[in-house]
Amino acid sequence: MQIERLSAWNDQGDQPLIIAGPCSAETEEQLFNTATELYNNGIRIIRAGVWKPRTRPGTFEGIGEDALQWIQNIKKKLDVKFAIEVANAQHVELALKYGIDILWIGARSTVNPFTIQEIADALKGNDVPVFVKNPLNPDLALWIGALERLNQAGITKLGAIHRGFSTSKKVKYRNLPQWQIALELKRKYPEMPMICDPSHIAGDRELIQSLSQKAMDLVYDGLIIESHINPAEAWSDAAQQVTPAALKEILESLVIRKSNTDNPEVQNHLAEMRERIDEIDREIFDTLAERMKIVDQIGEYKKDNKVTVFQVNRYKEMMQARTEWAEDLNLNQEFMENIFSLIHDAAIRRQTLIMSETESKA
C-alpha cells in the first residue's frame, strides 16, 4: 500500500494526533459548547457522531445532515477541524459537501467488504484523510482488506483506529484490546498511522487514562477520545465520555516516550540486555526443535500401533500442568495457554502429516 506518513498531512508536528469530541452531535448548543471547551484546552480536531445506527431501532440514531450544518457553522467561529464517521456513499457525499476534514469508518462497516467498496468508490478523486476502525471480531485480514480497498481507490492519507474487539466474556473492558492484533498491523505497515480509541475499548471513563498511556507506550500515533460538555446527560455512550477538563488532565498526565534515545549509556545498556534476549530466544528455538523431533518419534509410534493423533485426556492433563507451571513462575496464564496451544497445534499437524504420508504410500 502507498500511504502518506502522518507528518506529511498532520500539522500537529511531532505531538500525538489527538481527536476528541462527543459520541453524538445532539444539539447545536451542545456541540458548540463542547467544541469551544475542547478548543480552549488545546484540541484542534473535534470528533462528532452525525449518524449513529444502533444495534436495535427505536433509540437515538443521530441528527444527520442538520448536524453537518452545525459543524459548518462552528468551523466559522473556531479554528478547528472536524472528524466524523461515514457508513455509506451518501454519508461520504454529504461529508465532503459540508467540508468535513477527516473521515473514519466504524467497526460495523469494516466487517462488510461490500460497504467498504461502496465508500471507496464514493471517495475516488478526493484526498481527505480516512481512518478505518478494526472490525468487531479479531480478524486482521478483514481490517487490512478494508484499508487496501480504500488505498486502491486512491486514498493515501490513510490510517487505522484500534477500538478493541467484541467479546462475550465478562471482562472489565467493553471491548478486549487484543493489542497484538493492532501491533501486527503496525508491523506489516510501519508507515500506517495508528491511533487508539480508549473510549470504546474501556466503556468506562475511569479506564481511559491507563489505556491511553498503554497506547503511548506502544508508540501509537495518537488518540481519539469521546468528550462531552456534560457526560452524565449524553444521549449515547454516557459512561465512557469525559468532560473537556477531564480530558485535559488525562492528556497532561501522559508520559510520551521516544522510540530511540541519543544517550550512549542507555543505548549500551539496552544493547546488552537485547543481546541476552537474543541468546534466550535461540535457546527457546533449539528447545522447540528438540521437542519437534520427539513429536515426530511419537507420531511414528502412533502410526505403527494404530493410535489416534489427538488424545483428549492427554491434552487436558498437559494444559492443566502448564497452567500450574505458569502460575508458579508468575507468568500470565492466558499468555502461556496461547503459546502452548500454538505448540500443540503444530505438533498435531506434524503427526497428522506422518499419518497421511503412510496412507498415500499404501
Q: Which pLDDT does position 74 carry in this prediction?
A: 97
Instruction: Tell me the residue type at 351.
Output: Q
For residue 290, the domain's CATH number is 1.20.59.10
Tens place of pLDDT for every residue, the chain, 362 residues?
889 888 888 876 678 999 999 999 999 999 999 999 999 999 999 999 999 877 777 778 889 999 999 999 999 999 999 999 999 999 999 999 999 999 999 999 999 999 999 999 999 999 899 999 999 999 999 999 999 999 999 999 999 999 999 988 778 999 999 999 999 999 999 999 999 999 999 999 999 999 999 999 999 999 999 999 999 999 999 999 999 999 999 999 999 887 777 788 888 888 899 999 999 999 999 999 999 999 999 999 998 998 888 988 999 999 999 999 999 999 988 888 889 999 999 999 999 999 887 554 44
Cα separation, 177 vs 170, whole angstroms: 14
CATH number at residue 152: 3.20.20.70
Number of domains into which the chain is organized: 2
Q: What pLDDT does 9 receive? A: 83
Predicted pLDDT at 358:
52
Does residue 198 lie in a domain region? yes
Q: Give me the sign of the Cα torsion angle 209, 210, 213, 215.
A: negative
For residues 123 and 151, the answer to whether their CB atoms sit within 8 Å is: no
Q: State whether 229 and 346 are in the same domain.
A: no
* Cα(199)–Cα(1) distance, integer angstroms: 29
Question: Which among 253, 283, 307 is the end of a domain?
Answer: 253
- The per-residue pLDDT for 104 is 98
Q: Are residues 122 and 268 in the same domain?
A: no
pLDDT for the residue numbered 5: 86
Residues 6+ apart with CB under 8 A from 218: 179, 183
Here the cell at position 53 is 445506527
Using the 3D structure, point to which of 253, 287, 321 is the last residue of a domain: 253
Going from the C-alpha of 92 to that of each of 87, 293, 298, the distances in angstroms are 8, 57, 59
Alpha helices in the chain (DSSP H): 6-9, 28-40, 65-77, 89-97, 107-110, 113-123, 140-152, 179-188, 198-202, 208-217, 244-253, 264-304, 312-328, 333-361
Q: Is the entire prediction scored with pTM above 0.75?
A: yes
Handedness of CA 99, 100, 103, 106 (dihedral sign): negative
Q: Are residues 284 and 350 in the same domain?
A: yes
317 shares its domain with 208: no
Q: Does residue 259 form part of some domain?
A: no
Cβ atoms of residues 47 and 224 within 8 Å: yes
Same domain, 149 and 206: yes
What's the pLDDT score for residue 207? Answer: 97
Q: Give the range of the structural domain holding residue 283, as residue numbers without chain letter.
A: 264-361
Same domain, 349 and 244: no
C-alpha span between 218 and 180 (Å, rounded): 10
Q: How far is CA 307 from the centre of its chain?
A: 44
